[in-house]
Structure 1
Amino acid sequence: MERNSRNSGSHGASFTNNISFRQCGNTEVYHKHQRSRRSSKVLKWDKDNLTWGVVRYSTKIRPLFQWRTFQKAFRIWARHSNLRFKYSHRKPDIKILFARLEHGDGDYNAFDGRGKLLGHAFLPANGGTHFDDDERWTLKGGNFSFDQIHLPTVALHEIGHALGLEHISPRLAVMSPYFTAVKMKLTSDDIAQLRELYDRRRPVPQKRKFKETFVTLSPPTTEEVDNAIDSCNGIRDLTSVPNRNGRNELQIFAGNLTFKVSSSGKKIKSTLWTSDIYRGVPSDVDAASFYKETGTQYFFKGKEVWKFQEHHIVAGFPKTVKMHRMYETPRASVSVTLWHSTRLFIFGSHTYWEWNPETDDTRTRKPKPIYRHWRGLPDNVDAAIQWRDRYLYFFKEGQYYKVHPSRKMVIYGYPKPMPPPWLRRFCQNKKS
């Protein structure tokens, strides 16, 4: 927000305490590289895909909770525009910083301790979004006392300024200069101002409809199920996917079949052909992974990739991926979550790639050798998954390897004979 002051320049956000309410004083925060929104040039980002990062967290709240707060705020702005935001720790476009007093923006933009100025943000394309760390930040809503500042509300407002929005007069608007209540939803006035700068949301691609081209097969026999799983030695890949009740279920791909298993290892549904569950996907896929950030299920087979969202294949898929033309085809894939980010890796016979869910392609054309980057992990793995304990489990020829997710190294004492403890109940019961 802004303060009315002697300086002209970029938008800045500053909450101030008043007798009965906190107020954003509507002042520009001076920066030599920025111009005021009141000039003839409208300042906005010239791209739709923006990155954000945190230079320094507040000392008042656990960093993970702060990260989630900012992530939610960015999603609210993205919901009503064509903007898309992704966290990045490498030169992000929007840089969030908690600081005290003078913090590098000049004396005229210095914070003043607890109770008055709460933050400020620069207009595009500076990206600086700063908060006063002397304040007593809280994540709890409800009534506010003068020494408790609701971070989600302030964050949503400041990000608006970082996108180029000005203050508006309606008191209930997120971009109102007055801080009187929890504000976690954009009003029509906020949305109207946002869309003056940025287009409406992109049209949602129509889901491909499957009609007579797909034939439902008869259920697999007990013999077919036993031959496919073979005491869990026939597993092609595994994914952990949320069901309609919000609970994660384990999907095991073996042969042409898909087994659905609870977290306790109990089979929860009848075994089905993979092509009956995911229409359009071949039954004998080479690798599969679920990317939870976008709720997307990927299937890899040979040179082709299938992308599913909400059990429907996404328009434009399957498609051929160039990485398969000169190098190895996939054998396994795994989605790895580390604190605040998720990465998807694809393993061939001797090399691996990292998949980019934003472009639906590999991040680099040239794969990397497994032995050099995953210490102790053998070539030719058959399947992989990140389990609830956060460790990675790789399967190969009747053995499994437990791998540290960030260090990428096999834990001492492994490999061990199949199955792992969390899969033992399922593997010992092969009945359909």
Structure 2
Amino acid sequence: MTENPMGSYDGSILWPNTGSVYFFSGSQYYKFDIAANTVPGGYPMSTAASWPGLDGAFIHGAAVWPTGGKAYFFDRDNYYSYDIAANKVDDAYPRPTALNWPGVLGAFQDHRVDAVVPWTNGSVYFFQDDRYYRVDPTTKKVDPGYPMPIKDNWPGLWTTGNNIRGGFVWPQLVEGHQVAYFFHSAFYMRYDIENNKVDDGYPKPITGNWKGL
């Protein structure tokens, strides 16, 4: 997240009904308080101690699913189903991503998920390297015609070399627009959803713009 011994940003998830975004870095995580616009004192904390069942996981893509009361965390070529109400990983996880998400990442030998972002159109987007997939949240299947190149449909967004490492739609308007944030290592981009492009002046460093990270 910052230039410190823990390393860089690995993944994030916007948590429901809490006003918080959780950022993961190696075996630790931060809670970012949206209203206060900062990380509260006491962070980072151990992921294993605070997220039952995620001990040992190296989080990349993560998202609260639009239906079903679940969050999904992706670790290399596996994923975890997390019961939000029970606050723990479901039994018998992790499971292989390739075997449980029809069509997701099937074209790649490396089944790592870089980012998972529920979008305002009701779909969920999976990103890996320079490609992305549009997934139906009800069936969890990839829509026909995917994957597609990021560069063709996400103007200004990173497109090469495992760049996108997480993202989420911001729950508040920013300068009158609905936006999403995408992250890569120590940098981030702000994406204007209405105008379908990265805002001018990005990428910017996480340090100095996300207080406490």
TM-score range, shorter chain: 0.5 to 0.7
| Distance (whole Å) between structure 1 residues aligned to residue 39 and residue 31 of structure 2 | 6
Amino acid at match of 1:318: P
| Distance (whole Å) between structure 1 residues aligned to residue 81 and residue 117 of structure 2 | 15
Choose from 403, 407, 410 the match for 2:135: 403
RMSD of aligned alpha carbons: 3.2
Query: 2:147 aligns to what?
Result: 415
| Distance (whole Å) between structure 1 residues aligned to residue 41 and residue 86 of structure 2 | 14
- Asked whether the 8 Å contact 1:303–1:324 carries over to 2, the reply is no
1:414 to 1:290, Cα distance in 2 relative to 1, 3 A: same
Structure 2's unaligned 5+ residue stretches are: 106-110, 159-196, 203-213
- Deviations 1:392-425 (CA, angstroms, capped at 9, x unpaired): 111112111111112111111100111463x325
Structure 1's unaligned 5+ residue stretches are: 1-273
Count of aligned pairs: 151
Query: 2:60 aligns to what?
Result: 331
1:389 to 1:419, Cα distance in 2 relative to 1, 3 A: farther
Please state which structure has a larger fraction of its residues in helix: 1
Single out whichever of 376-385 and 355-364 deviates more from structure 2: 355-364
Query: 1:284 aligns to what?
Result: 8
Choose from 96, 100, 105 the match for 1:373: 100
- Asked whether the 8 Å contact 1:400–1:420 carries over to 2, the reply is no
- Secondary structure of the residue that 1:313 maps to in structure 2? coil
Work out which structure has the larger RCO, using CA pairs closer than 8 Å and 6 or more positions apart in sequence.
2
- Secondary structure of the residue that 2:98 maps to in structure 1? helix
- How far did 1:283 drift? 7.5
| Distance (whole Å) between structure 2 residues aligned to residue 431 and residue 319 of structure 1 | 32
Query: 1:387 aligns to what?
Result: 119
- Secondary structure of the residue that 1:371 maps to in structure 2? helix
Amino acid at match of 1:313: V
Amino acid at match of 1:335: V
TM-score, normalized by length of structure 1?
0.31
- Asked whether the 8 Å contact 1:336–1:342 carries over to 2, the reply is yes
- Asked whether the 8 Å contact 1:293–1:342 carries over to 2, the reply is no
| Distance (whole Å) between structure 2 residues aligned to residue 414 and residue 297 of structure 1 | 29
- Deviations 1:267-291 (CA, angstroms, capped at 9, x unpaired): xxxxxxx65xxxx9x7721111112
| Distance (whole Å) between structure 1 residues aligned to residue 84 and residue 69 of structure 2 | 10
- Secondary structure of the residue that 2:99 maps to in structure 1? helix
Query: 1:298 aligns to what?
Result: 22
TM-score, normalized by length of structure 2?
0.58
Bigger radius of gyration, 1 or 2? 1
- How far did 1:320 drift? 2.0
Q: After the TM superposition, which residues 26-105 of structure 1 pair with which residues of structure 2 at under 5 Å, given as runs? A: none
Are 1:349 and 2:76 counterparts? yes
Query: 2:45 aligns to what?
Result: 319
Choose from 155, 166, 179 the match for 1:424: 155
